[in-house]
């Protein structure tokens, strides 16, 4: 198939997908390169060529599509047949494939995890006086990650790293507490990203750091540095009720908004919120209706979590409007305390009133366009940009009320200590 014919055909396929509301499939056709390959020949009925249109997707995006790839391939294939098989007896189908890695030094790549990011994380640990090995000693901790018996010793009295680490960290205790950060044998600052990220996850393992609040606080610090460069530490499972963490790459689409939402979930230790945030992130581009519905649920979960922590009772029958009224009253969100003579006092009042009104609008938007309601066959939902607006509004609200909650808690604690 000639390249010009392929491009013209794909342009028509794109227009059909757009017109029929299949925006994800249309985006893949428009944004990514495609090539045609004849994969077979059928002698039946005078001879039929079998063609596969391969669309190359970046590896990270390809992996994130997951099980949805088959559905997208079917949608694109059906339009290819509409466009091409009317003038030909040949068969056509679409195939999504991961794009080849073009980075020559990919084996040594750090996937965007820059040296400065790592230094910032270690500096933060120093500032917070974090003992990286937690409840374990240096040898116990490192033996969970490295086979340091195969590493060289820096002390001529010992044949391997196991000996000199024991000698200087346990027997004599004459090494700096944070010696591991700059030891070339472990290469945490300049080496590949995986050992560094595994090291971070191990510092917050339940066995290493049994205090759940301390571990979550540390994870929040890690993620402040990691998420802007495309990584995050996340809760993978629980051991005896305590989170065990792993690491993964994250999409940059809407990353600042989602990052703020994750910080809220970390601060409140709200596991269910974390699941809703992940659902929102995955749905914004691919399923706007689900994202809008989940944004409303995210606000509701946040309200209930804070009310529970403040020992404020609520019932199952109370809707989002009732919950936000209780939150506003409990946290004193409406700023009566602002001096009328202060510059911008009325503007501040209006902003906060509008912020609480967002929850009402989210609930209505969810009812009109979100998940949870049947639709007729002609229904066309909102676009991803509308979902992003709903999600950003929800995150603005939960971010503000969580910050206010933490401020109120800190003020109460300080007043208690001053007595």
Same fold, 3-98 and 269-373+382-419: no
Contacts of 114 (CB under 8 A, 6+ apart): 229
Q: Higher confidence at residue 144 or residue 292?
A: 144
Range scoring the smallest mean pLDDT among 170-184, 329-343, 387-401: 329-343
101 falls in which pLDDT band (50, 70, 90)?
low
Q: Write down the pLDDT at residue 184.
A: 85
Better pLDDT: 314 or 48: 314
Q: What is the pTM of this model?
A: 0.44
* Domain edges within the chain: 3-98, 106-250, 269-373+382-419
User: Alpha helices of 152-286 — where are they, by DSSP H?
Assistant: 161-166, 193-203, 212-226, 255-268, 271-283
CATH class entry, domain 3-98: alpha beta
Q: In the numeric block, which tokens belong to residue 55?
A: 């669309």
pLDDT band at 129 (very low <50, low <70, confident <90, very high): very high
Q: Collapsing DSSP states into helix, strand and coil, what is residue 400? A: helix
* Per-residue pLDDT tens digits for 17-50: 988 888 888 989 988 899 988 888 776 656 678 8
What lies within 8 Å, CB to CB, of 278 at 6+ separation is none
CATH class name, domain 269-373+382-419: mainly alpha
User: Given a cut of 60, is residue 339 above it in pLDDT?
Assistant: no
What number is the average pLDDT over the span 146-151?
Answer: 78
Q: Tokens 């399923």 map to which residue?
A: 287
User: Three-state SS for 50?
Assistant: strand
34: closest CA among 14, 10, 5? 10
Which pLDDT value is given to residue 152?
A: 82
For range 409-417, the mean pLDDT? 72
DSSP 106-129: GGG--TT--HHHHHHHHHHHHHTT
The encoded tokens of residue 63 equal: 């992996």
- Tell me whether strands 231-239 and 242-249 are parallel, antiparallel or unpaired: antiparallel
Average pLDDT, rounded, for the chain:
79
Q: pLDDT band at 353, cuts 50/70/90?
A: low
Question: What is the rounded average pLDDT of the residues 146-171?
Answer: 81
Exposed, middle or buried: residue 219 (CB in 10 Å: 0-12, 13-18, 19+)? buried
Instruction: Say how far apart CA 126 and CA 331 lie, in whole Å.
Output: 34
Residue 277 has pLDDT above 80, yes or no: no
Confidence label for 251 from pLDDT (cuts 50, 70 and 90): low
Whether pLDDT at 65 is above 90: no
Averaged pLDDT for residues 142-159: 81
Q: What is the mean pLDDT of residues 220-246?
A: 85
Give the model's confidence band at 110: pLDDT under 50 very low, under 70 low, under 90 confident, else very high: very low
């Amino acid at each position: 198939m000639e390249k010009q014919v392929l491009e013209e055909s794909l342009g028509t396929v794109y227009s059909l997908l757009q017109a029929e509301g299949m925006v994800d499939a249309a985006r893949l056709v428009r944004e990514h390169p495609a090539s045609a390959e004849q994969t077979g020949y059928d002698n039946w009925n005078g001879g039929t060529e079998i063609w596969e249109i391969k669309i190359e997707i970046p590896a990270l995006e390809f992996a994130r599509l997951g099980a949805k790839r088959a559905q997208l391939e079917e949608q694109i294939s059906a339009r290819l047949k509409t466009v091409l098989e009317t003038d030909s007896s040949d068969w056509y189908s679409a195939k999504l494939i991961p794009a080849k890695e073009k980075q020559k030094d990919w084996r040594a790549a750090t996937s965007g995890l820059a040296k400065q990011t790592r230094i910032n994380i270690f500096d933060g640990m120093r500032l917070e006086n974090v003992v990286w090995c937690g409840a374990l000693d240096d040898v116990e901790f490192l033996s969970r990650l490295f086979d340091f018996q195969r590493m060289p010793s820096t002390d001529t009295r010992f044949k391997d790293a196991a000996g000199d680490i024991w000698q200087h960290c346990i027997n004599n205790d004459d090494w700096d507490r944070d010696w591991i950060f700059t030891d070339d044998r472990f290469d945490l600052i300049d080496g590949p990203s995986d050992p560094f990220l595994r090291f971070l996850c191990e510092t917050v393992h339940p066995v290493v750091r049994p205090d759940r609040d301390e571990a979550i606080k540390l994870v929040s610090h890690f993620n402040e540095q990691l998420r802007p460069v495309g990584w995050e530490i996340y809760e993978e499972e629980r051991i005896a009720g305590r989170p065990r963490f792993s690491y993964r790459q994250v999409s940059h689409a809407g990353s600042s908004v989602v990052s703020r939402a994750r910080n809220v979930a970390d601060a409140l230790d709200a596991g269910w919120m974390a699941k809703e945030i992940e659902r929102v992130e995955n749905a914004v581009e691919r399923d706007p209706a689900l994202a809008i519905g989940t944004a409303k649920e995210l606000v509701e979960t946040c309200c209930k979590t804070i009310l529970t922590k403040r020992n404020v009772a609520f019932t199952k029958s109370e809707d989002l409007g009732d919950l936000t009224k209780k939150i506003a009253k409990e946290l004193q969100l409406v700023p009566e305390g602002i001096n009328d003579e202060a510059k911008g006092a009325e503007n501040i009042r209006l902003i906060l009133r509008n912020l609480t009104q967002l929850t009402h609008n989210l609930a209505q938007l969810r009812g009109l366009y979100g998940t949870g309601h049947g639709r007729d066959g002609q229904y066309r939902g909102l676009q991803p940009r509308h979902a992003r607006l709903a999600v950003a509004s929800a995150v603005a609200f939960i971010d503000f009320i969580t910050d206010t909650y933490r401020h109120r808690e800190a003020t109460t604690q300080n007043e208690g200590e001053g007595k």
